[in-house]
Structure 1
């Protein structure tokens, strides 16, 4: 099911762009016909219907939060006109975009949430390494997730770079930070970049200071949609045998300079904080 998982990732990361079954299939590395069969088997719906539902769901959330310009929401949701967007929105939810904005809530709407795959097999892991990292300042967009909603993370990255790129440094390293977890497995995720400091930032951005400390680091190779397998190998297999103890502190994924956010291919490092 690797091709279908790549397609899911690409949709979540690029749903605001002009997408076709052919383009999604090209990224997934299979023919459009093959992808259509795989996707339907895996999710229970067609690629096009899933893409439409995800676009409209994210648009509904923005409108419920008070987005002032419906045309701008339409355009960043992949629709070329106010009319086309309003028609599709009404077919999906039975309400107009203006109606959802007025009610200020998505409760009761037929939302299409990110589909969560069952996960793949544990991967072969490169030997992790120990690293010291100095204090870092991370700025970006934060969101809280449950264990069943983490497939929404790629869309969070898309929102960051679609709506806040101008407020971020031009030279930057991307970090996905996991923090403030609870006993139910829920956590906060900050999709952001390292910044020199927090002064003068867009107030819409969330911020997090990572204290200087020791880490153990593993590297994920290949497509980012398969990173769960690397996490499983690192945390579920290697770490218990290492004798190391992880601290109750933020952990993060650090995206390499060669990571391509258009294809989802490139190294991603997983940094786990260690007890002193």
Structure 2
């Protein structure tokens, strides 16, 4: 059973308790950072948001069935007071617990049902090689995405490609997609479509500079089509990284596209670099 499946089992069996990220991570046998990245990559939402929505959804079902004491219900689902429960409930569903109990109607509420634990087939990856990357500077376009909807990244690369002719002298011919500032609560991250530049290079208007410090990485190569990148990343975080024995650290990860990668056809392969201890 991989970490996200263990996490799903733990959440569903402890949904009425005040579950912490650390507790779920221990039950899943990985670090909190590893688990939050894995869950977001596989399911497109943050783990703790899923925990919160599952508890509130089950509470909403009880309210629609006429739960008599909202304070007792709040305490049952890990909230310390009626006020805290009502505030969280209204923030997620846009209505108060009292109105759900009165109307006994859940049809308009975006309830979170349990995610089914499955053994979805992920691509098999070779064990990673380990590389230490020296300090590097990049210039590129940066956008913010939610894990559940990163579909704008290809368009971001198109816009960046049109600006390459104005770039200063490049260090090499590789391109990098850098993920950083991952928000474990919201499941959001920043993404740079960029190229390496010298530290002294002037950055054209509209682009930003990003510096990566010296860091060790587990490097996963995939020779398939670029359309497979989401499933490759899911395979890395949910299976391959754990099996490799390397522990990820909360530092930027990135995709590397070499000269052999053809942006027109999406072929040529790519690498995923994950920062490790």
TM-score interval, smaller chain: 0.5 to 0.7
- Bigger Rg over Cα: 2
Q: Distance in 2 between matches of 1:192 and 1:198?
A: 16
| Structure 1 position 228, deviation (Å) | 1.5
Question: Alpha carbon RMSD of aligned pairs, Å?
Answer: 1.6
| Structure 1 position 257, deviation (Å) | 1.6
Q: Distance in 2 between matches of 1:274 and 1:265?
A: 28
Q: Distance in 2 between matches of 1:168 and 1:253?
A: 22
Residue 169 (structure 2) aligns with: 169
Q: Distance in 2 between matches of 1:168 and 1:148?
A: 34
Unaligned runs of 5+ in 2: 1-119
Q: Distance in 2 between matches of 1:160 and 1:146?
A: 20
Contact 1:137-1:198 within 8 A present in 2 as well:
no
Which stretch has the larger CA shift, 162-171 or 249-258?
A: 162-171
Change (3 A) 1:242 1:126: closer
Counterparts of 1:57-76 in structure 2, within 5 Å, are none
Asked if 1:221 corresponds to 2:223, the answer is yes
Please give the secondary structure, in 2, of the residue aligned with 1:215: strand
Q: Distance in 2 between matches of 1:247 and 1:144?
A: 21
Q: Once the two structures are superposed, what CA deviation does each residue of 1:140-174 show, in whole Å capped at 9, x if it has no partner?
A: 00000002221110000000111343225365310
Counterparts of 1:100-249 in structure 2, within 5 Å, are 121-169=121-169, 171-183=172-184, 184-249=186-251
Count residues in correspondence: 156
Q: Once the two structures are superposed, what CA deviation does each residue of 1:3-32 show, in whole Å capped at 9, x if it has no partner?
A: xxxxxxxxxxxxxxxxxxxxxxxxxxxxxx
Higher RCO (CA 8 Å, separation ≥ 6 residues): 2
Contact 1:121-1:229 within 8 A present in 2 as well:
no
| Structure 1 position 198, deviation (Å) | 4.7
Q: Once the two structures are superposed, what CA deviation does each residue of 1:216-243 show, in whole Å capped at 9, x if it has no partner?
A: 0101211101112211222110212333
Q: Distance in 2 between matches of 1:191 and 1:246?
A: 22
Contact 2:128-2:244 within 8 A present in 1 as well:
no
Contact 2:225-2:268 within 8 A present in 1 as well:
yes
Contact 1:172-1:195 within 8 A present in 2 as well:
no
Residue 24 (structure 1) aligns with: none
Which stretch has the larger CA shift, 135-144 or 228-237?
A: 228-237
Residue 30 (structure 2) aligns with: none
Contact 1:137-1:207 within 8 A present in 2 as well:
yes
| Structure 1 position 247, deviation (Å) | 1.0
| Structure 1 position 203, deviation (Å) | 3.0
The alignment's TM-score, normalised by the length of structure 1, stands at 0.54
The alignment's TM-score, normalised by the length of structure 2, stands at 0.53
Displacement over 4 Å in runs of 4+: none
Unaligned runs of 5+ in 1: 1-119
Q: Distance in 1 between matches of 2:131 and 2:198?
A: 21
Q: Distance in 2 between matches of 1:138 and 1:200?
A: 11
